[in-house]
Structures are given as structure tokens and as C-alpha cells.
Amino acid sequence: MDRPNEGERAAAYAILFCPMLIRAVWGWLERLGVPRCHRDDVAGQVWLNACESWPRFDPKLGRPARWLNAITVHVASHYHERARHRREELVDVIDVLDPAPDAAAVMESDHVRISTRDAVNELDPELRFVLVVHDLDGASMTQIAQEAGLPLSTLYKRRAMAIGELRNMIMLREAGEISIGPR
């Protein structure tokens, strides 16, 4: 058998490793039933096999794309063969060794809790009342309106103002513009 000349091999190499054939391998793998989540790995195996067998490639025996397609079919069939024997076991959530927060997280949490409590206590009593009874005690706005003898719309406005003021106080404290604690 004649050895292919280097010019033919170089031309075949240029055809073989072009973006069009790289996309073609993906398309072939899709048609061969390789799932999308495994296509990158299987395509990598195709290119690895192509590189390993490149010294044996003879352009006189066929087009480079046809040769690459044969490798792709071969690799895909091995993928499917191994997939039949693959066993994946789904497991429950893995328990964390120590789910308790560390000391720094506890201190930060305490700081946030105390700062928020202090900010709520600094709110105007009318605003604080709606916020505490609805958001902390869990009473419905309708129930609060009936017991307080106020229109429902007034309570919603007060709650919105309370949340806005609370947000502003906390932002100012974080920026260091006002001190933490009662006035």
C-alpha cells in the first residue's frame, strides 16, 4: 500500500480540525442518542481517538469527515454499551457534620437581632403598634382594624411607613451615622 503524501495528509488535517466538523461531531452524537449532559465528554473522547489514530489515517481511503464519523459512531456505541452497565444511586441529602453556626455567625446574628429590636422600639408608637401586632404577633390587618377602630387603609399606610422608617434607621446604623441603642 502506498504511503499518503504529506500534502494530502495536511489538507485532510485542515479539513478535519475545522469548526464545521467540531459542530458536526456534536450533531452526530445527538442523532446517535448521546444525552446533552454527556455530549461534551463523549465528543472529547471522539477527538482523543481521532488524534491517537491520526498516524494511521490515509486520505486515499476516504474523506476525513467520513473517517471522523466512523470514529464518532464507534465511541457513541461504546458510550451506550457502558451506559447499560452504569448504576447511579440517588441518595438522600447528606447530613452536615455540625449544622450549628460558628461563633462569628452567632455574634453577627445577635447584633442584627438587637439592632432591629432597638430600631423597632424607636419607631413612633402608632407605627410600631401595626408592625408588631401584624408582623410579629401574626394578627390579620382586618382584625387589627376592627379592634383599633381604624380604617384598613390607614393601617396599611402606617405599616408601609413603619417598614420604610425601620429600613432607613437600619441603613443609617450600618453606615455609622446614628448610634445603636435607645435615644
pLDDT digits (tens, 9 = 90+) for 132-170: 899 888 889 999 999 989 999 999 999 999 999 988 888
134 in Cβ contact with 141 (< 8 Å): yes
Nearest Cα to 77, choosing from 32, 24, 44? Answer: 32
For residues 81 and 110, membership in a common domain is answered with no
Q: Which residue has the higher pLDDT, 171 or 87?
A: 171
Q: Which three cell numbers stand for residue 93?
A: 441529602
Q: Which residue has the higher pLDDT, 35 or 5?
A: 35
3-state helix, strand, coil in the chain (%, to 5): 75, 0, 25
The residue to which cell 445603636 is assigned:
180
Rounded distance between C-alpha atoms, residue 93 and residue 1, angstroms? 61
Rounded distance between C-alpha atoms, residue 26 and residue 44, angstroms? 10
Position 145, amino acid: A
Specify the pLDDT at position 1.
Answer: 46
Is pLDDT above 70 for 98?
no
Region 84-90: what's the mean pLDDT?
Answer: 68
Rounded distance between C-alpha atoms, residue 60 and residue 62, angstroms? 6
Residue 92 placed within a domain = no
Specify the pLDDT at position 31.
Answer: 93
Q: Select from 85, 120, 135 the last residue of a domain.
A: 85
Q: How confident is the model at residue 183 (pLDDT cuts 50, 70, 90)?
A: very low
Specify the CATH number for the domain of residue 67. Answer: 1.10.1740
Specify the CATH number for the domain of residue 128. Answer: 1.10.10.10
